[in-house]
Structure 1
């Protein structure tokens, strides 16, 4: 983690300014969070569980800006193949930039419900914080099951935002922030706890379920990654907490040692 620093809060001459940082550009956000200590740790854990070997065909479903593609390519070697799929053209453009020179990486534009890969064609596959956003996680898992070769491994990582805690003397407002996040901000906010069940329902055999707890101690970084300011402001507008209380809560987070954490669930499943 970086050294704790002050959060950006509106000054007295700007009473209409929003709280905290604005919504970050998605590609930059994904790259920054992946570079955090907690991000590196769970990604290394996932890669280890997948047991990637030279010659494997590996699929990164929802590859985003290509954060993990070089690591996958390194593990499958010169005889393997890596396929990155994302529906966002801007994300794929960044992924192409990051994988320039890796001739065993192929990027394909497509929706995860209709993965542009042949059935039974991938030895290893992963999704990382993707299912929490899709309309139908079960449908995506069914498509991943079809894409995997018999005996193939699929790694799934998702947070459970219902476990998000933010330390504050005003615990009721911290709880209101989590409740708003779960109810209004993230489409499938508790997908982490459901991963194993959904994977089994899709036809996989679940081999490993583990959980990690990323801890944020830098208030400014937490504001960037969790949207503390902008989301407590929206929570106030939606009636979860009063505006004055929301502002006091957010300002108070920067005044002392900071703590926020949540549960991140990793599931390894076999076709």
Structure 2
């Protein structure tokens, strides 16, 4: 957990910001009348629960995650829901037979994968023909603070995309991963998110933590860290703070 840039509190905070986008992602699975839908990298299971509420009676929702603590919370929250199950597993290999899954959703997972090509191949293996596959991913390269310290900001983003996040340019690579595995009917949507207080930026994007880490790892100087964060605080104090980032939704079928 120490190497992650998220925990259960972070996921819950970001959920409030992303609720409309999440609900949009569920809509791709509404036509499934039977079988199994997988939420890969399900975290604490909130999306599994919401998918289960939407799903037809004969559809089972399975959440898969590698974090026992996340799954413990997920199982507790979903204990009274009959069509839900959770499996402790890495994203590769997946514990399903070939061509047995009716739909698969994954949110902010690809950025953490060290071998994404293997995972996309594995997802293709387990999905049925014509099954929908939906991905939500963060475009870390789009992160923007609106100060005059563009050079420092550029270094912080480089830290995020090159070091902190395993696959920092995952959002830009999604269509390539999908085409390599013969997914079709690919659609790509960009959803910008803007917060207007430093408090929200720290809750949703962990901005202060990321800038501190960039200084600790030598991507920016200590004085650059203080200068950038002072500028962000000044903007917040004067009520013109803005921070934005794009999330993308890629949808396709097997």
TM-score (norm 2): 0.91
Q: Which residue of 2 aligns with 1:202?
A: 181
Does structure 1 residue 29 correspond to structure 2 residue 10? yes
Distance in 1 of aligned mates of 2:103 and 2:76? 23
Unpaired segments of 5 or more residues in structure 2?
A: none
Secondary structure (helix, strand or coil) at the match of 1:254 reads helix
The correspondence for 2:97, drawn from 86, 98, 118, is 118
**Is the contact between residue 190 and residue 249 of structure 2 (CA under 8 Å) also seen in structure 1?**
yes
Deviations 1:93-119 (A, max 9, x none): 011112121111011111111111222
Residue of structure 2 equivalent to 1:265? 248
- How far residue 56 of structure 1 moved from its aligned partner, in angstroms, is 4.0
The superposition leaves residues 64-103 of structure 1 with CA deviations (integer Å, 9 ceiling, x where unpaired) of: 1002011211222322111111111111101111212111
Say which of 191, 201, 211 aligns to 2:170. 191
Q: Secondary structure at the match of 2:140?
A: strand
Does residue 223 (structure 1) correspond to residue 206 (structure 2)? The answer is no
Partner of 2:144: 165
- TM-aligned CA deviation for residue 267 of structure 1: 0.9
State how 1:78-97 maps to structure 2 within 5 Å: 78-97=57-76
Relative contact order, CA 8 A, sep 6+: which one is greater? 1
**Taking structure 1 as reference, are residues 245 and 207 closer, same or farther at Cα in structure 2, changes over 3 Å only?**
closer
- Secondary structure class of the residue paired with 1:64: coil
Superposed CA deviations along residues 136-180 of structure 1, whole A, max 9, x for unmatched, are 111111111111111101101111211111111222222221122
Give SS of 2:28's match: helix
2 CA distance for matches of 1:106 and 1:214?
A: 31
Give the one of 93, 107, 112 matched to 1:133: 112
Could you tell me which runs of 5 or more consecutive residues in structure 1 were left unpaired when the two chains were aligned: 1-22
1:12 is matched with none
Cα RMSD of the aligned pairs, angstroms, is: 1.7
- Whether 1:71 and 2:50 are equivalent positions in the alignment is yes
Secondary structure of the 1:236 match is: helix
